[in-house]
Amino acid sequence: MSKNIFVYCEITEEGHVADVSLELCSKGNKLAKELGVDINAIAIGDKLDNIADEVSAFGVSKLYLAEDKKLFPYLNMPHSNIVSKILQEQKADIVLFGATSIGRDLAPRVASTLKCGLTADCTSLEIGDHYVKKTDTTYKNLLYQIRPAFGGNIIATIINPDMHPQMATVREGVMKLEPLKKKVKPEVIKIDVNKYVSKSDFAISIIDRKIEAQKVNIKGAQIIVAGGYGVGSKENFSLLKQLADLLGGEVGASRAAVDSGFVDHERQIGQTGVTVRPKLYIACGISGAVQHTAGMDQSAQIISINNDSEAPISKIADYNIVGSINEVIPKMIKYYRQNSK
């Protein structure tokens, strides 16, 4: 039986819990209920007054706060030491991090300190058992860490039966954000930072930081018109942009389209891009490889436009339009304008 579940809550520049961390609290709460255990959270930084309220809608039982001005902006060594020691003291069994630039840097450091495994970029998390025939051993209530592998050609289920905690990073948008009907504030445990870090942890300091504004907010788009290699050219992507602008959406792309130079990498959707969950996803000339569908298959409604009626994406699409995008999209634009006046 798992002892407890921990979520590392990443803190934004504005002092709020990052969306991906709230998604993990929501998922962690479901896993905790299934196991009959508690879900706990760790937050590190400066000015964490609002954090308890923000996680209270997701069933967090205990919130460990390491609040100190010198811990912000992010300094990897002290953060990893604090997280590692808390997890050791509390005998954590499952630990979840967001697969952000911060989480991808922090989680491996923690895993190395705790001498445990780490599965990166999971798209699903489940609880299950595992039987080893060779030793006639059954492991109960393991964390199934599920993610595409081998370039997205297979879906791998990874387990860590012997070395705990079981650790995974999960990408933003993969888990549903499902607040509880009634908030329950967690017990706040304030950490004495000086007991967890030493002067040597601050041997490297950040002198200056430059943050560029995000150019494309494809994660937050409710309508996405995405193109694949089948779009054919950079010029043909202008058709997708016309439709996206008309619908008030954003243009996305598969890896094949990005690698071909049709569109910038910041618009790439899939295992090596971003994960999205829009209300409407229009896939144009996209075959539906696993590495792409892993980043969009939770869309509320999917429309596929493809010459190949047997393309893999047709299996997950709600509507399939067989035809050339050069014929279909101009008609969609024309009739939408006619009927939206």
CATH number of the structural domain spanning residue 303: 3.40.50.1220
51 and 114 belong to one structural domain: yes
Residue-level pLDDT at 73? 64
60 and 195 belong to one structural domain: yes
- Check whether 17 has a pLDDT greater than 90: yes
Residue-level pLDDT at 1? 44
Strands (E), 150-255: 154-158, 166-170, 187-190, 223-227, 250-253
142 and 79 belong to one structural domain: yes
130 and 83 belong to one structural domain: yes
pLDDT tens-place string over residues 143-173: 999 988 776 667 889 999 888 899 999 988 8
What is the residue-averaged pLDDT of the chain? 89
- Check whether 135 has a pLDDT greater than 50: yes
291 and 252 belong to one structural domain: yes
Q: Provide the 10 A C-beta neighbour count for residue 68.
A: 19
236 and 305 belong to one structural domain: yes
Q: How far is CA 291 from CA 31, 148, 161, 223, 248, in A?
A: 25, 7, 27, 20, 26
Q: Strand, helix or coil at 239?
A: helix
- Is 217 domain-assigned? no
pTM of the model: 0.78
Q: What percent of the chain has pLDDT over 90?
A: 63
Mean pLDDT of 39-54: 92
171 and 230 belong to one structural domain: no
- Check whether 202 has a pLDDT greater than 90: no
CATH number of the structural domain spanning residue 110: 3.40.50.620
189 and 279 belong to one structural domain: no
92 and 185 belong to one structural domain: yes
pLDDT tens-place string over residues 256-287: 999 999 999 999 999 888 889 999 999 999 99
242 and 271 belong to one structural domain: yes
52 and 188 belong to one structural domain: yes
Q: Count how many domains the chain has.
A: 2
Residue-level pLDDT at 151? 64
117 and 232 belong to one structural domain: no
- Which structural domain range is residue 144 located in? 4-202
pLDDT tens-place string over residues 65-80: 998 877 766 667 789 9
Q: 197: pLDDT confidence band, cut at 50, 70 and 90?
A: confident
